[in-house]
Amino acid sequence: MKIYTYHTPERVPADWQPDCAIAVDVLRATTTIATALAAGAEAVQVFSDLAELEQVSQQWPAAKRIRVGERGGKKVAGFDMGNSPAECVPERVKGCRLFMSTTNGTRSLERIQTSPLVLAAALVNRAAVAEFVQKHQPATVWIVGSGWEGNYSLEDTVCAGALIHYLWGQQDAPLETLAGNDETIAATALYRYYQDDLLTLFHHSSHGQRLLHLGNEADLKYCAQVDILAIVPWQVSPKLLTKA
């Protein structure tokens, strides 16, 4: 297995496809997706375009749809939810489909939608996703961070590193045999440095700061937890994710 890490969807190569592509948006889209599926949501359908989301979700029974819209860390006016995993409790989401559009995370999922196996990972479901990958043994894996509007983000890179570190732990080989690019080595180093204090890393990060200013400290604490959900969100048809 060779793992290639990309910090943003813009950096993903245009001329080849991996056997498996994993989208990461720790703060907060992929954490919210894993949490919603763990709480019994039927599926999560992602959109980069809000108007398309509104039009497609219109065709779904009103009692079974939840429109999740986030821009700049804030809930989009008129939507049912912002992008907080704290809102994804069973009483709210069980049996419902989430129609979701966020600033960056849903764009990553859209960018990798044509890969044969598409997964969504966060710290909360890191081990579940890594075990799934380990079991399926794809020859090539992309881990695609969402970043912020085309720029690098610490939190997605540390999550990529957490995934790689877990997969590396299953092998008796040096990291360079697993690493397809230098970003994979760097992400692992970042995780090894911060693994016991991920919340501090979130406080250092620009999007962590943005969420703190918006009063979302509880979300940072939740998203910094590792391996608390045994959920693997996987794509069953383009941009539609359910539990594997």
The contact pattern for ligand MLT, residues 33-62, with x = CB under 6 A and - = no contact, is ------------------------------
Nearest in space to 158 (alpha carbons), one of 114, 127, 122: 122
Residues 173 and 220: their CA atoms lie apart, in Å, by: 34
Q: How far is the CB of 27 from ligand MLT (least distance, A)?
A: 5
Q: 1, 23, 24, 27: which one contacts ligand MLT (CB under 6 A)? A: 27
Residues 88-107: x where in contact with ligand MLT by CB under 6 A, - otherwise, as a string: --------------xxxx--
In the complex, least distance from residue 102 CB atom to ligand MLT, rounded to whole angstroms: 3
**What gap in Å lies between CA 201 and CA 167, rounded to an integer?**
22
Build a one-symbol-per-residue string for 135-164: x at contacts with ligand MLT by CB under 6 A, - elsewhere.
-----------x------------------
In this chain, which of 3, 5, 12, 28 binds ligand MLT, going by CB under 6 A?
28
- Residue selected from 8, 35, 83, 157 as contacting ligand MLT according to rule CB under 6 A: 83
For residue 207, the Cα-to-chain-centroid distance in whole angstroms is 15
The token pair that represents 79 in the structure block = 């939507």
Closest residue by Cα to residue 9 from 150, 172, 174: 150
Residue 70 engages ligand MLT in binding (rule: CB under 6 A): yes
- The two tokens of residue 18 are 């991996």
Residues whose CB is less than 8 angstroms from the CB of residue 59 and which lie 6 or more positions away in sequence, other chains included:
none
3-state secondary structure of 219: helix
The contact set with ligand MLT (CB under 6 A) reads 25, 27-29, 70, 73, 83, 102-105, 146, 211
